[in-house]
Chain A
Amino acid sequence: MSNILEIKNLSVEFPTRRGTLKALNDVSFSIAAGEVVGVVGESGAGKSLTGAAIIGLLEPPGRISGGEILLEGRRIDNLSDDQMRKIRGREIGAIFQDPLTSLNPLYTVGHQIAETIVTHLPMTWSQARQRAIELLESTGIPAARERIDHYPHQFSGGMRQRVVIALALAAQPKLIVADEPTTALDVSIQAQIIELLKKMCREQGAAVMLITHDMGVIAETADRVVVMYAGRVAEIGKVRDVIHSPRHPYSVGLMGSIPSIHHHVERLVQIDGTMPRLTAIPPGCAFNPRCPQVMERCRIERPDIIQVGTSQAACWLHETKEAS
C-alpha cells in the first residue's frame, strides 16, 4: 500500500527572545491509505504541533526548520499560503477538539458544508446541498433534511462534532488530521464518535492521523501508534504490540500508569519527574533523567530509531541487545 502521508526528519522551531526552541526534533513516520495512525503523547510532547505543521497552520513565529512533509509523494511543507489553502479541505481534512469554535456560528451548517464542497469539487450549489444532506445522514444526524438549515448553536456537543466530521470529509480528502476529536465529549458520546470516524474513513479509504493523549481511544481506533516525547518519536508500532509489549522505557511507564477497569493494582506505575520543558531538554536521549534503565551512552548520544521486532524504538537498550 502506498503512503498517503510521509513525514521525514521534520523539525519545527520557535525563535524566541530567549533563543531558538526546537519544538519538534527530527520526527519521521508515515500513514498508508485506509490506515489509522494514532499519535500519542503528553502535554508538550509535540503531537498537536505535528498536526499543525502538516495542515500548514503553524502559528508564527513557529516555522518548519528541517525535513519534509510529503502528501502522496509531493512535498507540501514548502508551499505558499495560497497553494496550501487549495490543499486544505480537498486533500487534507481537519477535525479539532472544540466543535464550538470549529464551526462558524453565523452560517448554517448546510451552507458551510456546501461551501466546502463547491470550493473543491466541480458541483453546482444545489448538488452540493444534496451531498451535504447525504453526509449529515451518514454521520447519524436525524432529520438531516431539516437540520441542514440549522445553525451550529442549535446542535448539542456530540451532534456538532458529527457536523465537523461531515465538514472534514465533504470534499473527499485523502488524509484526515484529527486533533483530540473526542476529548471534550462525554464518555458515551465519545464511543459513538469514534465508531463514526472509523466507519466513514474506512468507507472513503482516507488515511487518518489521530492525535490524542488518551490511549484508550487509540486502542479502539488506531492500527499503528506513534509515541512522542519532548518533540521526538520514542516508539512506533502496531497498537497491540505497543500496548502489551512496549519497547521504549517511556512507553513502558506510560502504559503502566494508565488505570484499567479489568485488573486492580495497589500502586500505578509511576515515572518520577516530568517531561522537560522545551528550554531545558537534556543532551542525548530526552528521557534519560527519568529512565529507570539509563546508561552512560544515553546521557551523551541521542538514540537512533532502531527496529525491535515489529516495532521501532529510539532507545540504546535495543541496540546493545541486537549487537550482543
Chain B
Amino acid sequence: MTQKMEEYTWISIISDHPVFAGHAHPVLRRLASLYGVNITIKGPSDTSGEKYIKAINDAVKRKVAGIMLIGFPVKGVVAAVSKAIDSNIPVVTVDSDIPHSRRIAHVGTNWFKMGSGMADKLAELTGNKGKVLMLGMKGLANMEAGFRGFRQRMSDYPGMDIIGCEDDMDATTARAEKIVEEYLENHPDLSGIVGFDGNSGPGAARVLEKRGKHGDIKVLCVDADEMQAKHIKTGAIDAAFCQKREVFTSVAFQMLYSFNHGSAITGNIPGKVNIIGNIDTGHIIVTKDNLNTVEEELRLDEIYQRHNVIQRCNLLTNMVENIDSISMAVDSSGMVVYANPSAEKQLGYDHGKLVRVSIDKLFVLSPGIRDKMQDCLGRGIPASFDTVARKSEGAVFPVHVNIAEIKTGFHGKGIVLFAVNNTGRKRMEEEILRKNQELESFVYSVSHDLRSPLVSLYGYAENLYQGNMDKLDDQDKHYFNRIFSNIKKMEELIHDLLELSRIGRVIGERTDVKVREILREAAARFSEQLKENDIDVEVTAEGGCVINVDKKQIAKVMDNLMSNAIKYMGNGRKKHIELSCGKCGDNTRICVKDTGMGIDKKYHDKIFEIFQRIGGGKEETEGTGIGLAIVDKIIKGHDGRVWVDSALGKGSEFCFEIPRKKGES
C-alpha cells in the first residue's frame, strides 16, 4: 500500500539568496530524507511581494502538511497566514517573524538580545566614545527588534551617539557603500558602523578598506559567510553576529511534523499541545580570532545547549514522573495527552491507558471549575480548586487540584494539572471541627457549672451577713468582706479564662472604625472610675485615623489597658492618662500612656503571658493576670503586635500596632 508523501514547504522572498541556499536548503534536504517527507522550497528569487503571497496561497491549494515561512512585512501576508491556519495547515515563521499573524509559533534568533549584544561589543571596541551609524532594512520584524535592542543598550553608554539609522532598503552592498561614503564626509568623528542586514557590513568594510581607514572605524555585521569572512580577515569587519540558521530551520520543521504526528511523550496525539512555542536559537559572535574555528564552536555550543536541555528535562521528568501526586497534561479539548505513573495508579488505569481519556471522566467538574479551566486556557490564569476524582471502576476520592497553562508564548494549547489526594486533610478538618465543637460545649458547661456554686456561696453569705448585721463586730464584718471579695475574684477569674479561650476561636467580622471613636468611647466607659480616682484623661487622635478591626475585640483591648492604667495609677501628684493614635509606616499605632507606678523593664515581656502579675502588692489592685494575655491574643489575631514602654516610677505606655488595609493611606 503506497501512501502519498506528505509535503512541507519553505517559502521566502529572494529564496535563493546565499544565506538560504548555503544554510537553510541543505538542512531541509537532509530533513526530508530523514523523516520520509517531501520538502519543497518556494518563493520568488526577486523581492516581489505578490509572488511571495502567491507561493503561500498555492501551498494552501496543494493542501501541504505545513508551511515554514520567512516572514516579510508584505501586504496581505497576515491574511494569507490566516487562510492557511483556517485550512488546518500549520504555519511556523522562521528567522523573521510576522508577529500579528496567527502562526502557531516563531523560531529564530532573538534580535533584541542580539542588538543589545552588538551595542556592548561596539562600546568595548571603540572605548565607549564617538558616533555610531546604524544600517539595516526598516520594517522587518527581526531587524526592528535588533534596532530597539541596540538603541536601548546604547543609552547605557554616555560617551556614544547614534547619528542615524539609514534604511539600506534593497540590502545591496552598493547602497551601503553610498551611505557610508556620505557619512564619512560629514562626520569625521564617526567611530563605529553597525550593519543589521547581510550586505551593509561588507559594504561599509569595502569603503573603509578603499580609504585605508579599516581598523580605525569599528564595524559590526550579522552573518559570517564568505562575503563577511573576507573582511573579517582584513580587520575591516571587527565582529560578525552569527545566527544559527541550520538550527532554526530544522527546529521549525520538527515543530510542524510534531503538530501533525504528535510525539511519543504526549501519546502521539497531534495538535498544538506539541508545539513548544516561540524559540530563540541564540547567536554566536565571530571575530578574526575564531573565524577558522567557528564551525566547531557552533557545534560545541549546540552540544552544550543540548546538554543543558537534557539535564533540565531529566530533572523535570523525574519530578513529574516520580512524585506521588496525580500529574497530567490536557489539550484544549480536555483530552489527556500525558499522565504520570501516579495518576495511572491512583485513578486505576493500566499503563498508557489514561491518554486520550477525557478529563470529564476523571474529575467532577462544576460550572465554576469549568470557568477556571477556561480562564486558564484562554487567559493563562493559574488556579486551584477542590473537587472529587473518579477511579476507573467508579470509586471516588477528594482531591486538591492545581492547574496552569502549558506556556508557549500564546494561549489555548493546553493545561498542566496536579492533583493531590485530599482524603487525609478532609478527615483532619472534620476532626478539628468536631474538637472545636467539643471545646465549645466544654467551655459552656464549665462556665455554667463553675459559676453556679459561686452564686450560692455568695447568696448564703449575703443572707448571713444581712440577717446578723447588728450582732457582727468589726472583725466579723471584715471576714465577710474577705469572703465576698474572694468570691468576686473567683468569678472574675472564670470570666477572664472563658474570654481568653473564646478569643482566637471566634473571629468576629472586621469593619472600618475611626480610632478617635474607639478612644473616646473607651474613655467614656471609664468616666466614673476616672472621676472617683481623680484621674484626668486626654484623647489625641487625628480624625482620619481608621482601622479595620473586630470592633468588639478592640474595645476589649482598650478596656483592659484602661483598667490597668487606673488600677496601677498609684498616688502620684499628677494622675493622667493619654490615649493617642498615629500612623507608623504601614501600621496604625494606638497608645495608652499613664503617669502611674510603672513597670520594671525585666517584666516587660512577661506581663503579656497568662497569670503573670507584677502589681504593687496591694490586693485591691490585683487582677486575674489574664487581661494582658487577652490583649496580646486579640492584637496578634489582627496581625499586629503589642508592647510596653515603662520604668518603675515613670509611668507606662502600652502601644499596639495593626497593619492598615492595602491601598489605604
Chains A and B are bound partners: no
